[in-house]
Amino acid sequence: MALVVVASFWVLGVLALVSGGLVFRFTSMARATIALLTSLICVGGEVVLLGLPYLGVVTILMMVMEMAIMAVFMIAYMMNPAGLTPMSMLHNKGGSLAVSGTVFVALAAGIFLVPWPRRAGSPPPDTTFQVGESLMGAQMLTMIVLGFALLATIVGAIVLSTRRGRYDRFGDDLDRRPPRDPAGGGVGR
Amino acid sequence: MTLHLVLLLAAGLFAIGLFGALTQQSIVMIMMGIELMIGGVIVGAAAFWRFLAPAAASGQVIVVAAVVAMAVEMAMGFAVTTAIFRTRQIDMTDMAKDLEG
Protein backbone atom coordinates (compact mmCIF):
# COMPACT_ATOMS: atom_id res chain seq x y z
CA MET A 1 0.00 0.00 0.00
CA ALA A 2 2.77 2.40 0.95
CA LEU A 3 4.55 1.51 -2.29
CA VAL A 4 1.46 2.50 -4.27
CA VAL A 5 1.34 5.86 -2.47
CA VAL A 6 5.01 6.57 -3.14
CA ALA A 7 4.72 5.57 -6.81
CA SER A 8 1.61 7.73 -7.23
CA PHE A 9 3.39 10.63 -5.57
CA TRP A 10 6.26 10.46 -8.06
CA VAL A 11 4.04 9.98 -11.11
CA LEU A 12 1.71 12.84 -10.16
CA GLY A 13 4.58 15.10 -9.15
CA VAL A 14 6.54 14.66 -12.37
CA LEU A 15 3.36 14.99 -14.43
CA ALA A 16 2.42 18.19 -12.58
CA LEU A 17 5.81 19.77 -13.25
CA VAL A 18 6.04 18.62 -16.88
CA SER A 19 2.53 19.73 -17.85
CA GLY A 20 3.05 22.98 -15.92
CA GLY A 21 6.10 23.66 -18.05
CA LEU A 22 4.24 22.70 -21.23
CA VAL A 23 1.60 25.39 -20.55
CA PHE A 24 4.14 27.98 -21.67
CA ARG A 25 5.57 25.89 -24.52
CA PHE A 26 2.39 25.18 -26.47
CA THR A 27 1.34 27.64 -29.13
CA SER A 28 -2.25 26.41 -29.22
CA MET A 29 -4.36 27.91 -26.46
CA ALA A 30 -6.60 24.87 -26.16
CA ARG A 31 -3.54 22.70 -25.53
CA ALA A 32 -2.14 25.15 -23.01
CA THR A 33 -5.42 25.10 -21.09
CA ILE A 34 -5.50 21.28 -21.06
CA ALA A 35 -1.88 21.22 -19.88
CA LEU A 36 -2.67 23.56 -17.01
CA LEU A 37 -5.72 21.47 -16.11
CA THR A 38 -3.54 18.33 -16.06
CA SER A 39 -1.03 20.03 -13.79
CA LEU A 40 -3.69 21.23 -11.34
CA ILE A 41 -5.47 17.85 -11.31
CA CYS A 42 -2.13 16.32 -10.31
CA VAL A 43 -1.89 18.95 -7.55
CA GLY A 44 -5.31 17.82 -6.30
CA GLY A 45 -4.16 14.21 -6.47
CA GLU A 46 -1.09 15.04 -4.38
CA VAL A 47 -3.33 16.67 -1.78
CA VAL A 48 -5.40 13.46 -1.65
CA LEU A 49 -2.20 11.43 -1.22
CA LEU A 50 -1.14 13.69 1.63
CA GLY A 51 -4.23 12.61 3.54
CA LEU A 52 -6.71 15.36 2.64
CA PRO A 53 -9.22 13.61 0.35
CA TYR A 54 -11.94 16.26 0.64
CA LEU A 55 -9.74 19.25 -0.19
CA GLY A 56 -8.01 17.33 -2.98
CA VAL A 57 -11.27 16.39 -4.66
CA VAL A 58 -12.64 19.94 -4.22
CA THR A 59 -9.49 21.28 -5.88
CA ILE A 60 -9.86 18.87 -8.80
CA LEU A 61 -13.56 19.65 -9.31
CA MET A 62 -12.97 23.38 -9.13
CA MET A 63 -10.09 23.23 -11.59
CA VAL A 64 -12.08 21.23 -14.15
CA MET A 65 -14.83 23.88 -14.13
CA GLU A 66 -12.37 26.75 -14.02
CA MET A 67 -10.37 25.52 -16.98
CA ALA A 68 -13.53 24.92 -19.01
CA ILE A 69 -14.30 28.62 -18.56
CA MET A 70 -10.64 29.54 -19.00
CA ALA A 71 -10.49 27.89 -22.43
CA VAL A 72 -13.23 30.20 -23.71
CA PHE A 73 -11.43 33.32 -22.48
CA MET A 74 -8.06 32.05 -23.68
CA ILE A 75 -9.32 31.67 -27.21
CA ALA A 76 -11.23 34.96 -27.05
CA TYR A 77 -8.34 37.11 -25.80
CA MET A 78 -5.25 35.58 -27.36
CA MET A 79 -3.51 37.34 -30.20
CA ASN A 80 -2.79 33.94 -31.72
CA PRO A 81 -5.48 31.57 -30.39
CA ALA A 82 -4.92 28.55 -32.61
CA GLY A 83 -1.16 28.88 -32.76
CA LEU A 84 -1.27 28.83 -36.54
CA THR A 85 0.99 31.84 -37.11
CA PRO A 86 4.44 31.38 -35.63
CA MET A 87 5.13 34.20 -33.20
CA SER A 88 6.84 34.64 -29.88
CA MET A 89 4.50 35.48 -27.05
CA LEU A 90 7.29 36.06 -24.55
CA HIS A 91 9.13 39.11 -23.37
CA ASN A 92 12.19 39.43 -21.14
CA LYS A 93 12.87 35.69 -21.27
CA GLY A 94 16.40 35.85 -19.88
CA GLY A 95 15.50 38.09 -16.95
CA SER A 96 12.45 36.00 -16.08
CA LEU A 97 14.47 32.80 -16.23
CA ALA A 98 17.05 34.32 -13.89
CA VAL A 99 14.40 35.51 -11.44
CA SER A 100 12.42 32.25 -11.35
CA GLY A 101 15.61 30.16 -11.24
CA THR A 102 16.91 32.21 -8.32
CA VAL A 103 13.56 31.87 -6.54
CA PHE A 104 13.62 28.09 -6.98
CA VAL A 105 17.21 27.78 -5.75
CA ALA A 106 16.43 29.97 -2.74
CA LEU A 107 13.31 27.95 -1.91
CA ALA A 108 15.19 24.65 -2.31
CA ALA A 109 18.02 25.89 -0.11
CA GLY A 110 15.48 26.92 2.51
CA ILE A 111 13.75 23.53 2.32
CA PHE A 112 16.98 21.66 3.06
CA LEU A 113 18.60 24.13 5.47
CA VAL A 114 15.70 25.02 7.74
CA PRO A 115 15.56 22.77 10.82
CA TRP A 116 11.92 21.81 10.56
CA PRO A 117 10.18 21.16 13.87
CA ARG A 118 9.30 17.66 14.95
CA ARG A 119 5.87 16.48 13.93
CA ALA A 120 3.29 17.41 16.57
CA GLY A 121 0.26 15.18 17.06
CA SER A 122 -1.20 12.73 14.60
CA PRO A 123 -3.85 13.13 11.90
CA PRO A 124 -7.44 12.83 13.10
CA PRO A 125 -9.46 9.85 11.86
CA ASP A 126 -11.66 12.14 9.75
CA THR A 127 -9.77 15.05 8.18
CA THR A 128 -12.90 16.40 6.49
CA PHE A 129 -14.60 16.73 9.88
CA GLN A 130 -11.48 18.48 11.16
CA VAL A 131 -11.55 21.23 8.53
CA GLY A 132 -15.33 21.61 8.68
CA GLU A 133 -15.41 21.99 12.45
CA SER A 134 -12.52 24.44 12.27
CA LEU A 135 -14.18 26.65 9.64
CA MET A 136 -17.45 26.65 11.55
CA GLY A 137 -15.75 27.21 14.91
CA ALA A 138 -12.30 28.57 15.67
CA GLN A 139 -11.70 29.80 12.12
CA MET A 140 -15.15 31.33 11.65
CA LEU A 141 -13.63 34.80 11.16
CA THR A 142 -11.51 33.41 8.30
CA MET A 143 -14.63 31.91 6.75
CA ILE A 144 -16.52 35.22 7.03
CA VAL A 145 -13.63 37.13 5.43
CA LEU A 146 -13.44 34.60 2.60
CA GLY A 147 -17.19 34.96 2.09
CA PHE A 148 -16.98 38.75 1.90
CA ALA A 149 -14.01 38.50 -0.47
CA LEU A 150 -16.06 36.29 -2.79
CA LEU A 151 -19.05 38.66 -2.58
CA ALA A 152 -16.81 41.64 -3.38
CA THR A 153 -15.41 39.65 -6.31
CA ILE A 154 -18.88 38.97 -7.70
CA VAL A 155 -19.80 42.67 -7.47
CA GLY A 156 -16.44 43.91 -8.76
CA ALA A 157 -16.29 41.51 -11.69
CA ILE A 158 -19.79 42.49 -12.83
CA VAL A 159 -19.08 46.23 -12.47
CA LEU A 160 -15.84 45.92 -14.45
CA SER A 161 -17.17 43.80 -17.25
CA THR A 162 -20.55 45.47 -17.81
CA ARG A 163 -20.64 47.43 -21.04
CA ARG A 164 -23.32 49.88 -19.91
CA GLY A 165 -24.43 49.93 -16.32
CA ARG A 166 -27.00 52.07 -14.53
CA TYR A 167 -24.43 54.82 -13.92
CA ASP A 168 -24.05 55.17 -17.67
CA ARG A 169 -27.82 55.45 -18.00
CA PHE A 170 -28.81 57.57 -14.97
CA GLY A 171 -25.61 59.60 -14.44
CA ASP A 172 -23.14 59.52 -11.56
CA ASP A 173 -25.82 60.41 -8.99
CA LEU A 174 -28.47 58.16 -10.54
CA ASP A 175 -30.76 61.19 -10.94
CA ARG A 176 -30.85 61.68 -14.71
CA ARG A 177 -34.39 61.21 -16.02
CA PRO A 178 -35.09 59.94 -18.60
CA PRO A 179 -32.02 57.70 -18.75
CA ARG A 180 -29.59 58.21 -21.61
CA ASP A 181 -30.15 55.17 -23.79
CA PRO A 182 -28.86 54.55 -27.30
CA ALA A 183 -32.39 53.72 -28.43
CA GLY A 184 -35.56 55.12 -26.95
CA GLY A 185 -38.07 52.78 -25.46
CA GLY A 186 -41.54 52.80 -24.04
CA VAL A 187 -44.69 54.42 -25.34
CA GLY A 188 -44.30 57.64 -27.34
CA ARG A 189 -40.57 58.16 -26.68
CA MET B 1 7.30 10.84 0.20
CA THR B 2 8.99 13.12 2.69
CA LEU B 3 8.42 16.74 3.66
CA HIS B 4 11.49 17.79 1.66
CA LEU B 5 10.34 16.07 -1.51
CA VAL B 6 6.81 17.47 -1.41
CA LEU B 7 8.08 20.97 -0.66
CA LEU B 8 10.50 20.66 -3.61
CA LEU B 9 7.53 19.83 -5.83
CA ALA B 10 5.72 22.89 -4.47
CA ALA B 11 8.79 25.08 -5.08
CA GLY B 12 9.08 23.73 -8.64
CA LEU B 13 5.45 24.52 -9.42
CA PHE B 14 5.85 27.98 -7.91
CA ALA B 15 8.98 28.71 -9.95
CA ILE B 16 7.43 27.50 -13.23
CA GLY B 17 4.36 29.64 -12.57
CA LEU B 18 6.54 32.63 -11.76
CA PHE B 19 8.47 32.18 -15.00
CA GLY B 20 5.19 32.13 -16.93
CA ALA B 21 3.77 35.15 -15.15
CA LEU B 22 6.93 37.15 -15.88
CA THR B 23 7.48 36.14 -19.53
CA GLN B 24 3.99 35.99 -21.00
CA GLN B 25 2.68 38.89 -23.02
CA SER B 26 -0.95 37.85 -22.96
CA ILE B 27 -2.91 38.89 -19.87
CA VAL B 28 -4.70 35.53 -19.78
CA MET B 29 -1.43 33.60 -19.90
CA ILE B 30 -0.11 35.65 -16.97
CA MET B 31 -3.13 34.47 -15.01
CA MET B 32 -2.28 30.87 -15.90
CA GLY B 33 1.17 31.43 -14.40
CA ILE B 34 -0.40 32.75 -11.20
CA GLU B 35 -2.68 29.68 -11.06
CA LEU B 36 0.39 27.43 -11.16
CA MET B 37 2.01 29.45 -8.38
CA ILE B 38 -1.08 29.06 -6.17
CA GLY B 39 -1.05 25.34 -7.03
CA GLY B 40 2.43 25.23 -5.51
CA VAL B 41 1.14 27.02 -2.41
CA ILE B 42 -1.64 24.41 -2.05
CA VAL B 43 0.84 21.51 -2.22
CA GLY B 44 3.13 23.24 0.28
CA ALA B 45 0.35 23.93 2.77
CA ALA B 46 -0.93 20.35 2.56
CA ALA B 47 2.64 19.08 3.12
CA PHE B 48 3.13 21.24 6.21
CA TRP B 49 -0.17 20.02 7.61
CA ARG B 50 0.70 16.37 6.95
CA PHE B 51 4.31 16.31 8.14
CA LEU B 52 4.46 18.98 10.84
CA ALA B 53 1.08 19.64 12.48
CA PRO B 54 -1.64 17.19 11.44
CA ALA B 55 -3.53 17.69 14.70
CA ALA B 56 -4.11 21.39 13.94
CA ALA B 57 -6.68 22.32 11.32
CA SER B 58 -4.93 25.58 10.37
CA GLY B 59 -2.96 23.93 7.57
CA GLN B 60 -6.19 22.76 5.97
CA VAL B 61 -7.68 26.25 6.32
CA ILE B 62 -4.71 27.68 4.40
CA VAL B 63 -5.50 25.26 1.55
CA VAL B 64 -9.11 26.49 1.56
CA ALA B 65 -7.91 30.11 1.46
CA ALA B 66 -5.57 29.33 -1.46
CA VAL B 67 -8.40 27.70 -3.43
CA VAL B 68 -10.57 30.78 -2.81
CA ALA B 69 -7.68 33.00 -3.93
CA MET B 70 -7.54 31.02 -7.19
CA ALA B 71 -11.23 31.60 -7.85
CA VAL B 72 -11.02 35.32 -7.01
CA GLU B 73 -7.93 35.78 -9.16
CA MET B 74 -9.62 34.16 -12.17
CA ALA B 75 -12.84 36.15 -11.89
CA MET B 76 -11.19 39.54 -11.36
CA GLY B 77 -8.51 38.84 -13.97
CA PHE B 78 -11.08 38.11 -16.65
CA ALA B 79 -13.14 41.13 -15.62
CA VAL B 80 -10.11 43.42 -15.92
CA THR B 81 -9.15 41.81 -19.23
CA THR B 82 -12.66 42.37 -20.55
CA ALA B 83 -12.75 45.97 -19.34
CA ILE B 84 -9.38 46.97 -20.82
CA PHE B 85 -10.10 45.17 -24.09
CA ARG B 86 -13.43 46.96 -24.41
CA THR B 87 -12.05 50.42 -23.84
CA ARG B 88 -8.68 50.21 -25.61
CA GLN B 89 -8.54 46.96 -27.61
CA ILE B 90 -5.60 45.82 -25.47
CA ASP B 91 -4.83 42.11 -25.13
CA MET B 92 -1.10 42.28 -24.45
CA THR B 93 0.72 43.72 -21.48
CA ASP B 94 3.18 45.74 -23.55
CA MET B 95 0.27 47.69 -25.04
CA ALA B 96 -0.64 48.96 -21.58
CA LYS B 97 2.78 50.25 -20.56
CA ASP B 98 1.27 53.51 -19.32
CA LEU B 99 -0.27 51.52 -16.45
CA GLU B 100 3.09 50.55 -14.99
CA GLY B 101 3.90 52.14 -11.67
Q: Which residues of B50-70 are buried (b: 16+ CB within 10 A; e: fewer)?
A: bbbbbebbebbbbbbbbbbbb
Contact A157, B75 (CB under 8 A): yes
Cα-Cα-Cα-Cα dihedral sign, residues A81, A83, A85, A91? positive
Cα separation, B83 vs B75, whole angstroms: 12
How far is the C-alpha of A113 from the C-alpha of A107, rounded, in Å?
Answer: 10
User: What is the spatial distance between Cα B93 and Cα A90, in angstroms, rounded to a whole number?
Assistant: 11
Q: In a 10 Å sphere around its CB, with 0-12 CB exposed, 13-18 middle and 19+ buried, how is residue B81 labelled?
A: buried
Nearest to A116 among B3, B11, B80 (CB): B3
Question: H/E element holding B28?
Answer: helix B27-51
pLDDT per residue as tens digits for the range B28-56: 889 999 999 999 999 999 999 999 999 99
Question: Is the Cβ pair B13, A117 closer than 8 Å?
Answer: no
Measured between alpha carbons, how far is B26 from A185 in angstroms, rounded to an integer? 40
Spans of all domains in chain B? 3-93
Query: Residues, chain A, total?
Result: 189
Q: What is the DSSP letter of A95?
A: H
Topology classification of domain B3-93: Helix Hairpins (1.10.287)
**Residue type at B14?**
F
What is the pLDDT at residue A189? 54
CB A122 to CB B70 under 8 A? no
* CA angle, residues B59, A39, B81, in degrees to nearest 5: 90
Task: Enter the pTM of the model.
Answer: 0.90
All residue ranges of chain B with pLDDT < 50 are none
Instruction: Please tell me the distance from the alpha carbon of residue A78 to that of residue A57, in angstroms, as a whole number.
Output: 30
The reported pLDDT for the residue numbered B21 is: 93
The DSSP call for residue A139 is: T
Q: With b meaning 16 or more CB within 10 Å and e meaning fewer, what string describes A120-151?
A: eeeeeeebeebbeebbeeebeebbeebeeeee
User: How many beta-carbon contacts under 8 Å exist across A and B?
Assistant: 229
pLDDT for the residue B89:
83
Is there a contact between B28 and A77 if contact means CB atoms under 8 Å apart? Answer: yes
Please tell me the predicted confidence (pLDDT) of residue A52.
95
How close B51 gets to chain A, by Cα (Å)? 6
Chain B residue numbers with beta carbons less than 8 Å from the beta carbon of A69 are: 74
Distance (Å, whole) CA A83 – CA A69: 19
pLDDT at A82: 67
Q: Do B14 and A104 touch (CB under 8 A)?
A: yes
Per-residue pLDDT of chain A (189 residues; tens, 9 = 90+): 689 999 999 999 999 999 999 998 888 888 889 999 999 999 999 999 999 999 999 999 999 999 999 888 888 887 666 667 666 777 888 999 999 999 999 999 999 999 999 998 899 999 999 999 999 999 999 999 999 999 999 999 998 988 888 888 888 898 988 888 887 666 655
Distance CA A157, CA A155 (A): 6
